[in-house]
Structure 1
Amino acid sequence: MDAYAFNLEEYIAFARLAGTDTEGVEVKAAAGGLPKNIVETLSAFANTSGGILVLGLAESQGFTPVEGFDARSVADGLAQACSQKMMPPIRASIDIVPFEGAPVVVAIVPETVPYEKPCYVKARTVYEGSFVRMGDGDRRLSPYEVDRIMEGAHCPQFDCAVVPEADMEEFDSELLSLFLIFQRQESSRAFKDMSDDEILEATKVAARDEAGTLRPTLAGLMALARYPQRHYPRAYVSFARYPGTSKADVTLEGIRFMDSKNLTGPIPLMISEAMNCVRRNMKRVSKMEGAFRVEEWEYPETAVREAIANALLHRDYSPEGLRSQVQVNMYDDRIEIMSPGGLCGEMTVERLGELGASFSRNAVLSRVLESTSYLAGFAEQGKVVENKGTGYFQMCASLQKAGHPAPVARDYISVFVVDLYKKGAAADVRWESSSPLPRLESPLQRAMRKAEQHYPERIVRTVTDFAGESGEAVTIHVVESGSVEFDIVSFMDEADEPVKSSQLIESLGRSKATISRALNRLIEKGVVQRLGGRKGPGIMYRLTRNAL
């Protein structure tokens, strides 16, 4: 994160209105020097989405400068804490900036790369010194969460483990037969001389135990067995339709659930039954297409199916993770899908839906489900998953095409949540104009969006609307007249080629810091594109489309 992307004056103005700091920004007085618990906040930011430390302002006194604050000593101490007290070391950007006539320390703490997490306090153990950011505070990670993070760095292999008590008779004969037929068709040369058992071993649907007996693996059991819950009682899907917008809501008659059901069986059956539950609890909406009236579901079926399939495919199948089930919770304004276990490997919330970006917590199960078909009589048809890294992308594309808000994804290490909203709900969740992917906000971006509501004359505004019946999202970026951003956009609009920041500084008579902050805001909003990397003399900038 670029330090110039954070505007201290605007943020503090917002914090004074809100009366508190936020999830992505921690403000501390540090009157007596660097606080001892600063290492916990460093760990929390590094393990979440990064964040910003502001030292030298007293929150209890309205975020005013602390008298006698030793900025240089605190900055040096913070740099030492980042490099020597944290594992892995944190490469923070630390600066001393003026604020209302006094020096303040501002530190940009980057998120630790996934394969090096968790970032913890070196003087404590990884289980005692790992924290995560929750709200505006720091929470110690549980041992389960620490294990999942470390395990997720390389993606686990619980799905290919032999299930000791299971036997081959537990497979559903029809599901297994279609799986084997598909394998022989797709890999005719490799499997032409193999027996059924040899193919099942090769695809890791089954494996030999220590005694040499062929038994189902967890992946084979979950995908192709008649009742895998015999061995994993919590490996099911719970469906619930709530009467309001939260689990706490009840009807006037005191009813907590308008519909609920526990769905068991192999994954293809659970997906099919979950879709039946969703259809039973959503309305059909009519709309005109030319001279014809067309009916469509309240939620796009493709989006719901992909979300449920992904939850079952990528859930945590460790012994600890199997203590919880996948949840499909339906509210008045959204469908919430909760899956045990967070993201793993190098996948982050920001990369979800990125074409070509895929993660397989359960690589064997992914390959098995790719070759598994829904049976005749199931509500769904075709293969269970595509496994081509496009599942989340397809979900987003179907929602956008139907005119729905973008899905909201949240990664809590121990659980992953996706919310699919109705049309007209979640007004703050918008689509970018150039892609069917949701704009997922970091904690800093959320804080800046709130500040934008109070100070629109100083920040670029983004207006998104849906174009008629096509459901296509059109985003227009509006630059306020008289602002630095307006001057930059006007200058670039008249230029025949990309410009350097030095040209803007000289032509507009603004400081380097002011131009850099404005450029970063324009880039963040998609109005300006940076060319030539992130640093160096060769960087140039140009306008993107839809800038006014």
Structure 2
Amino acid sequence: MGKQRDTELINILLNDKENELLEFKSNNTNPKVIGKLCSVLSNSARILNKDYAYILWGISDDGCIIGTDFNPNNKSITKFKLSQALSPSIHCDFRLVTHQDDNIVILEIPATTITPIEFNGTAYVRIGSATPKLSGHLDKMQILMKNLQTYTWEHEVAKQFLTADEVLNYLAYKVYFKLISQASPQSIDEILQYLERDNIVEKDIGNKWNILNLGALLLANDLNDFGVSIARKGVRFIAYNGDNKAEVVSHRKDGLKGYAIALEGLVTYINNLLPNSETIGEVYRQTNAPFPKIAIREIIANALIHQDMTITGAGPQVELFNNRLEVTNPGESLNPIERIIDLPPKSRNEGLAGLMRRMRLCEEQGSGVDKVIFSVEEAQLPAPIFRTHGNSTQVILYAYRSFADLTIEERTRACYQHAVIKYISGMKLKNSSLCTRFGIKKGNESQVSKVIKNALSKGLIKIADTESPRSGYHPFWA
């Protein structure tokens, strides 16, 4: 399949003259020339918003096939040495193709996605047939930086040059139609049109198709079909027989399916592992889980949506301990942690977020964090922790502990979160509402008065109306 695609790709490229995305060579294999051209073409591809640029060996300047003796496995021009000279490193793929009995070498160079590509400390660009320093052409630099800001990982190719049948074998397209509440079309062409409109697939050369990262991540029947970088974005779940990672692992589950298939199954799997307690009311027995199901679902969905896809080798992780549930995703929160409940969410992955909302896999509006807090308060659980550490974001849900067992820090955090929830509901934090939140009975109101006083002293809440100090409290930023 690879050779067939390369042959068709060569035929298409030979219809063009040398340009900002294409360079012809005969046998020039000078490593410095190749390295500089990698910088030139990668930067130029992003300026033009194209995914790849190419160098072809075995082609004359006027576009005729002449063949080449270039051996891309030559030790003086190894991919390893090339990646060392390029910063940031990019994956440059040399491929030897026999075309009309002549050897042609293709070097496929991906467009830069993070910052201008430098060769030995200098970034270059194509201007006509010249390859000057990028720093000398501010107009090109401005376009490049603007395009880098709008680059989306979701639109990169996960698997290419597939027949229509192969696309449908790799993707759970029936799940897609079910979740968007749309009857699945009868014809393959119509199915692909739907998938193309949602940036799940795109057309490739030769009447073939590519599956994009968004499609693979959401709808893969098996993430391993799409290589290591996609497979590692699967949700990893670990349960421990205790309160820390030194304890024995009781359950482990590595996500092998796309998020649209896996999310509900993972939430159900976790809930089935949780011990349940029973409370007996006046009429009915009520079963209580350590963590609200909606809270588990929302924090996992948020981790999927807001992760930084450009961090390689890492994906969302869910860890269950006896006393807490931790959900971690790669990438720092784009909103300040103290405003994560009330501010509209900022997503690095708008395509993923938008499609998951249409599929009703996450909140239509807002971040879903408010639902987490509402459900936690209703169950009178300790306040969750939201934190950024290293290059990741973590949310921790805690199992029930009585007010007496909570630390001063935990009580203060719950007070602040309660103030936020009240504020976004158009109300104020009051002694009585905080008593209800903590499950404190009448006559013990002085206990929450101390909590409020501490939150005030730390600047987390403020008096809502200075002319009526007893009217209630708002979060500090209101």
TM-score normalised by length of structure 2: 0.54
Partner of 1:294: 286
Specify the alignment match of 1:308 in structure 2. Answer: 300
Q: 2:261 aligns with which of 251, 254, 269?
A: 269
Larger relative contact order, structure 1 or 2 (CA cutoff 8 Å, min sep 6): 1
Equivalence for 2:153 = 158
Q: Which has the larger radius of gyration?
A: 2
The partner residue of 1:526 within 461, 466, 469 is: 461
**CA shift at 1:397, angstroms?**
1.1
User: Which of 368, 373, 377 is matched with 1:400 structurally?
Assistant: 377
Q: Tell whether the 8 Å contact from 1:409 to 1:416 is kept in structure 2 after alignment.
A: yes
Q: Which moved more, 1:272-281 or 1:207-216?
A: 207-216
2:240 corresponding residue in structure 1:
242
Of 340, 346, 352, the match for 2:340: 352
Contact 1:529 1:543 in 2 (8 A): yes
Q: What is the deviation of 1:174?
A: 1.4
User: Over residues 440-490 of structure 1, what are the superposed CA-to-partner deviations in whole Å (9 max), with x where a residue is unaligned?
Assistant: xxxxxxxxxxxxxxxxxxxxx99954468799xx8843499xxxx9xxxxx
Establish whether residue 172 from structure 1 lines up as the match of residue 172 from structure 2. yes
User: Counterpart of 1:216 in 2: which secondary structure?
Assistant: strand
Give the counterpart letter for 1:545 in structure 2.
S
5+ long unaligned stretches in structure 2: 1-120, 122-144, 424-430, 474-478
Relative distance call for 1:309 and 1:479 in structure 2 (3 A) is: closer
Amino-acid identity (%): 18
Structure 2 contact 267–297 (Cα < 8 Å) conserved: yes
**1:334 paired residue number:** 324
C-alpha distance in 2 between matches for 1:184 and 1:306: 28
- Aligned residue number for residue 215 of structure 1: 210
| Residues in 2 aligned to 1:352 and 1:264: alpha-carbon distance in whole angstroms | 30
Secondary structure in structure 1 of the residue aligned to 2:238: strand
2:64: which partner in 1? Answer: none
Distance change (3 Å), C-alpha of 1:543 and 1:212: farther
CA–CA separation in structure 2 for the residues paired with 1:362 and 1:290: 48
Cα contact 2:239–2:251 (8 A) shared by 1: yes
Query: Given the superposition, is the C-alpha separation of residues 219 and 476 from structure 1 closer, same or farther in structure 2, using an over 3 Å criterion?
Result: same
- One-letter amino acid of the counterpart of residue 301, structure 2: A
Letter in 2 for 1:258: S
- 1:386 pairs with 2:363: yes
1: CA distance, partners of 2:202 / 2:331: 25
State how far apart, in whole Å, the 1-side matches of 2:215 and 2:152 are: 13
CA deviations on 1:329-369 (whole Å, 9 max, x unpaired) are 1112100111112223xx12112121x51111110011122
RMSD over aligned Cα, in angstroms? 4.1
What secondary structure, in the 3-state scheme, does the structure 1 residue paired with 2:218 have? Answer: helix
Question: How many equivalent pairs are there?
Answer: 300
User: Which of the residues 313, 317, 341 maps onto 1:323?
Assistant: 313
CA distance in 1, matches of 2:211, 2:344: 30
Q: Distance in 2 between matches of 1:155 and 1:361?
A: 10
Once the two structures are superposed, residues 361-407 of structure 1 have per-residue CA deviations (whole angstroms, 9 ceiling, x without a partner) of 110011122233xxxxxxxxxx3122411411111111111111111
- TM-score, normalisation: structure 1: 0.48
Shift of 1:436: 3.4
Preserved contact between residue 341 and residue 415 of structure 1 (Cα < 8 Å):
yes
2:421 corresponds, among 422, 436, 443, to 436
Residue 198 of structure 1 aligns to a residue whose secondary structure is helix
Q: Is the 8 A contact 2:219 2:261 kept in 1?
A: no
Counterpart secondary structure, 1:420: strand
Aligned equivalents of 1:404, 1:159: Cα separation in 2:
37
Over 3 Å counting, the alpha-carbon distance change for 1:313 and 1:301 in structure 2 is: same
Which sections of structure 1, spanning at least 5 residues, go unmatched?
Answer: 1-124, 126-149, 186-193, 251-255, 373-382, 439-460, 486-517, 531-539
**Contact 1:529–1:541 (Cα < 8 Å) also in 2:** no
Which residue number corresponds to residue 4 of structure 2? none
Structure 2 partner of 1:370: 357
